[in-house]
Amino acid sequence: MTRIAVVGSINMDLVTLAPSFPAPGETLLGERFLTVPGGKGANQAVAAARLGAEVALVGALGRDAFGDELERGLAREGVALDHVRRCDGAGSGTASITVAGGENQIVVVPGANAEVSPAQVEAARSALAQADAVLVQMEIPLATVEATLRLGRRLGVPVILNPAPAQPLPAELLAQASYLTPNQHELATLLGADPAEDFRALMRRAPVPVVLTRGAEGAWYSADGGPAHQPGFAVEAVDTTGAGDTFNAALAVFLREGLPAAVRKACAAAALSVTRLGARDGMPTRAALDAFLR
């Protein structure tokens, strides 16, 4: 069984369905409201577990009702929580999400996610050392992201950095990752480049291989002859929330099959994920993904 370690955020998503996005100062009547477990770290952990991996999560929750609910939900998905700690001084993280027309807008309040520390990553060394791949995102402190990248490098374990939300990062830090998985805007932000610059040129400037997501177009990935394209899969999009997390999880789970195969399966898993409402409800099982690809 593939083993995946995820270092990242755990949130409760507060989701509002609306006919459109409100303009500044505008009040709209929404169509529906629901609470959905989320956070990039937790989402990627759940997506990897559904694809058949053995998953260990490193993160933090508050000692509140959201924390209790999130912990129970992750346990039900089979995610190992030995390295998820409960914090007294901060509530659990939240993400306020508005969904309209199949797109989304998100505001994240980190809460306990801001307490995930380099020391906590070091304490989880055994989980990272046993992993076939490590996933880390940027909804936790940058020092913790850096600690994860450097520890993975020392252990010889591939680390996938999903740079969202993106910020400019020095090339020396980016070089600690095994793979970067941005979209075009995120890659330009990381490199301090013009977002209008051709994304293939940006990929060549990155210090490590890039797997660049392009929505319905699919993904581009670094190859020996230059950036290669994996076309997307045609589906009817209902909600794109969580599609990137599903993509990253699948990429990690199937990385041992080689990058082209892993990117193809990641695009397929992400396509399946957008056909249902909610970040996790659309995340496919391994059986569902195999059937879709057939």
Residue 273 annotated as lining a ligand binding site: yes
The answer to whether the annotation marks 288 as part of a ligand binding site is: no
Residue 41 annotated as part of some ligand binding site = yes
> 20: helix, coil or strand?
coil
Catalytic option among 198, 245, 281, 290: 245
Q: What's the residue count for the chain?
A: 294
Has 162 been labeled as part of a binding site? no
Has 198 been annotated as catalytic? Answer: no
Is residue 241 marked as binding? yes
Element (H, E) at 136: strand 133-137
245 is in an annotated binding site: yes
The burial of 72, by beta-carbon neighbours within 10 Å (0-12 exposed, 13-18 middle, 19 or more buried), is given as exposed
In terms of DSSP H, where are the helices of the chain? 40-50, 65-76, 118-123, 125-129, 142-155, 171-174, 184-191, 199-205, 243-253, 259-273, 286-293
Contact 286, 51 (CB under 8 A): yes
Annotation-wise, does 183 bind a ligand?
yes
78 marked ligand binding residue: no
Q: Residues 163, 165, 171, 174: is their CA dihedral positive or negative?
A: negative
Q: Do 119 and 148 contact (CB within 8 A), yes or no?
A: no
43 known ligand binder = yes
- Residue 264, annotated as binding a ligand: no
Residue 215 annotated as binding site: yes
The Cα 99–Cα 105 span in angstroms is: 7
Query: Which SS3 state, helix, strand or coil, does residue 118 take?
Result: helix
38 is in an annotated binding site: no
Annotated binding residue at 276?
Answer: yes
Local structure of 245: helix, strand or coil: helix
Which residues form the catalytic set? 245
Tell me the binding residues.
11-13, 39-43, 139, 183, 213-218, 239, 241, 244-245, 273, 276, 278
Tell me the binding residues for K(+).
239, 241, 273, 276, 278
Tell me the binding residues for substrate.
11-13, 39-43, 139, 245
Tell me the binding residues for ATP.
183, 213-218, 244-245
